[in-house]
A and B are shown apart, each in its own frame.
Chain A
Amino acid sequence: MSAVAAVGTESGPGAAGADRVIQGKRTGRLKGLAVIGFMLAVVAWSIDGTIIADTDWSRIGGPKGVFSSLGRFLQLDLGVLPHLIVPMIETFMIACLGTLLGCLFSLPVAWLGAANVTPSRLVAYPIGRFLMVLSRSVHEIVWALLFVSAVGLGALPGILAVAMRSVGFISKITAEAIENIDKKPVEAIRAVGGNEFQVMYYGIVPQILPVVLGVVIFEWDINIRRSAVMGLVGAGGLGLLFFRQMNMFNYGGVTMVVLAILVLILIGETVSHFARKAVT
């Protein structure tokens, strides 16, 4: 609002301009208040519809019930510890393989979805963009359900689901990087007689490689989180252990699995932090 005032006093015709500016400030403030009031109304309406209408308050048991439930989670069951190692390695491997497969899938999608290298701006470009959005809209659990019904239980559907989910983000950033490249190296290589493959390999790839590696490492970090929950629907890793502990009502064991996930995430964050510094 102060920016509007500054512009108004500089370019408005004297007193009439100043009046218009003051009027603009008043209506601008009223409109801002209207937006906030409207949002508060929607919040209140939402709370009423979801929490107040749907919650069985007696079953929760009040603050005492909640705290006793929390206490059950805090009684760590250390007997689960030796059973954690193999699923942790599995989850880590699912994340790695899933990210790699996602990279492979996102290369053609990024090529389709980049406005300057796409083969057809009318047909291929929208297809590429739509595939990117589709991959990001469908939650990884839904992908996992689809793949478990297609290829059976185990680690493979988890890897495929993680790969399909990662394609969206990696290909989007890659496509944007391709669209932002400097044309001069590309023209230079074409000028000395390079074919399309050499143009891509020596002209485009060196320019986009740091960005792409950075986003792949970032996505690998996020995929560790996703791989941990693939097991909840049967796709292997720590999620399966989580599911079993939950079904046995072994809340202490559940906490141990959550701690194992946190350890994996910590490793992933540390590696990704240093790897991204080394790459960019």
Chain B
Amino acid sequence: MVFGIILFLAYSIAFLNIDLGRLPGAFGRLASFIANRYYPPDLDYVMEGGYLLSVLDTLRMSFLGGVFGVMIAIPLAWFGAFNVTPSRILLYPFGRFSIMSCRAIHETIWTILFVSILGFGMLAGVLALTVFCIGFAGKLFADEIEAIDKGPVEAIRATGANALQVFVFAVFPQVRVAFTGIAIYTWDVAFRAATVVGFFGGGGMGWYLKRNIQQLETERVGAIILSIIVLVLIAEGLSGQVRKRVARAKYGAVDQSAKARLIRRFCLPLFSILVTMTLPISPVR
């Protein structure tokens, strides 16, 4: 069977007309390309108001996509979890199928579809990110629900509760902390997707990327890619810290107040920074 796979891969290389001679030089060419054309990056371009506003828009789009996606994903995950779904014949396939179809189509294709229906702009972007988050978070939520302890579920069921009450009182308290961690991770992944949603018309930083690539302004492209990398690294660091604190809060002695305090400590300065960024820039728009 391994031999069959190797045979298939060799056939693929021939089928795709891949010139293997180009492969060894590819990274050398990429490195010289980056050194000659993308360096020095045009940092003044990414520091001006229009671009920074699009960064803010990207952040807001990813936040909205995350919030709405997670909100819709929770009931869908409940339907799609085999152990606690209210109806195994009807709602379980519906839940699983919805989550799978949201996940199956790449976020850029969702963006193109929404843009062609709703026009360019952030509405299409936010909807595309929402659908992406439903797929991403829904699968993680459903797997998490399927891994819970059966005890409380059976106990609540024994008192005669209906399916919704079982979910609220037996399932949700067990998965609440894990859901918070998954939600933060989903926002992190949504931000990475949001950076290129604009490339296809969904608003945000990606539009600047597309425009500068088409105008062959490679130094600005280098600066934009650099800014994407920096922002994603910051977002990942932030989300990692909050997730670690949330997980520690579950197992530590002091929980809710520490978690809320920490989120406020991060969000309040971030919020004020974002607001001050908007105010002087709004007249430009």
Q: Which residues of A contact B (CB under 8 A)?
A: 1, 3-4, 7, 24, 27-28, 31-32, 34-35, 38-39, 42-43, 45-47, 49-51, 54-56, 59-60, 66, 69-70, 73, 89-90, 93-94, 96-97, 100, 133-134, 136-139, 141-142, 145-147, 149-152, 154-156, 159-160, 225-226, 228-229, 232, 236, 242, 246, 251, 254, 258, 261-262, 265-266, 269
A156 touches B119 (CB 8 A): no
Q: A47-B64, A54-B122, A142-B225 are in contact. Are A151 and B12 (CB under 8 A)?
A: no
B146 close to A (CB within 8 Å): no
Instruction: List 13 additional contacts besides A1-B256, A141-B108, A226-B106; criterion CB under 8 Å.
Output: A34-B264, A38-B267, A43-B64, A46-B60, A55-B122, A93-B12, A139-B196, A142-B196, A146-B34, A146-B225, A147-B26, A150-B30, A232-B108
B33 touches A159 (CB 8 A): no
Nearest CB in chain B to that of A46: its residue:
B60
B106 touches A225 (CB 8 A): yes
Q: How many B residues touch the partner, as a band?
A: 35 or more
A261 touches B256 (CB 8 A): no
A97 touches B33 (CB 8 A): no
Cα distance A138–B122 in the bound complex, in angstroms: 21
Q: Tell me which residues across on chain A come within 8 A of B261, comparing CB atoms.
A: 31
A50 touches B122 (CB 8 A): yes
Q: Is the interface of B mostly helix, strand, loop or mixed?
A: helix
CB distance from A175 to the nearest CB of B (A): 16
The interface stretch among B13-21, B42-50, B78-86, B153-161 is: B13-21
Nearest CB in chain B to that of A137: its residue:
B232
B116 touches A54 (CB 8 A): no
A154 touches B17 (CB 8 A): yes
Residues of chain B in range 87-136 having any CB-CB distance to chain A below 8 Å: 100-101, 104-106, 108-109, 112-113, 116-119, 121-123, 125-126
A51 touches B264 (CB 8 A): no
CB distance from A260 to the nearest CB of B (A): 12
Cα distance A46–B116 in the bound complex, in angstroms: 23
A150 touches B229 (CB 8 A): no
Residues of chain B in range 4-37 having any CB-CB distance to chain A below 8 Å: 8-9, 12-13, 15-19, 22-23, 26, 29-30, 33-34
